[in-house]
Amino acid sequence: MQIRRATPEDFEIIYNLAVNTWNVTYEKILSKEQLDYMLDMMYSLNAITDQILVKGHHFILLSENNNYLGFASYELNYLSGIAKLHKLYVLPETQGRGAGKLLIDKVEEAAKRNGNNIVSLNVNRYNNAVNFYIKNGYKKIKEEDIDIGSGYLMEDFIMEKSL
């Protein structure tokens, strides 16, 4: 498996990976309406372009044999000494093969290289990924409910790992 940095030109790849992971990940947690709303809010061309070019998020893509399997996005120095993992998604058929671990390791390496000693993330409290993060050394710090508009909430754990 290979990892490379994504650019705004990789929008279609990121969007397709998001659609193909989100429905399976969240269909039992969120309504179809909220899923559609959040996909547009976070993965439209304008949203991804803004995340990369304005907010300074780094997107990385994981592939194998010219097939894209997943992606992550992160922000260095989100707060002083803290990197923020914004997104990490792996196709359902790829889960359990170490793909997520490769992505999270790459984010943690980038954080360390840039003087960040903590990686922080938000994860839906009802998402099975909570266990993945715990297995990889992350600890639940607190709960947070985030109003994202249109009457929708993100009900998250904030998790952190010291590097």
pLDDT tens for 83-115 read: 999 999 999 998 889 999 999 999 999 999 999
Cβ-based neighbours of 10, under 8 Å, separated by 6 or more: 59, 61
Q: Which two tokens stand for residue 60?
A: 């990385």
Mean per-residue pLDDT, 42-50: 89
User: What confidence tier does 159 reach under pLDDT thresholds 50, 70, 90?
Assistant: very high
Identify the pLDDT of residue 72: 98
Pairwise pLDDT comparison (63 vs 94), residue with the higher score: 63
Asked whether 104 and 134 are in contact (CB, 8 A), the reply is: no
- SS3 of 111, please? helix
Average pLDDT, the chain: 94
Of 79, 109, 39, which Cα lies nearest the Cα of 101?
A: 109
* Share above pLDDT 90 across residues of the chain, in percent, rounded to a whole number: 75
* For residue 53, pLDDT beyond 90: no
Most confident of 93-102, 116-125, 144-153: 116-125
Please report the pLDDT score of residue 134 as a whole number.
98
Residue 147 DSSP one-character state: E
What average pLDDT does range 75-90 have in this prediction? 96
pLDDT at 76: 97
Q: What length does the chain have?
A: 163
Split at pLDDT 50, 70, 90, the class of 23 is confident
> Could you tell me the pLDDT band of residue 155, with boundaries at 50, 70 and 90?
very high
Residue-level pLDDT at 25:
87
Smallest Cα–Cα separation from 38: which of 59, 15, 57, 10?
15
Question: What is the band of 135 on the pLDDT scale with cuts at 50, 70, 90?
Answer: very high
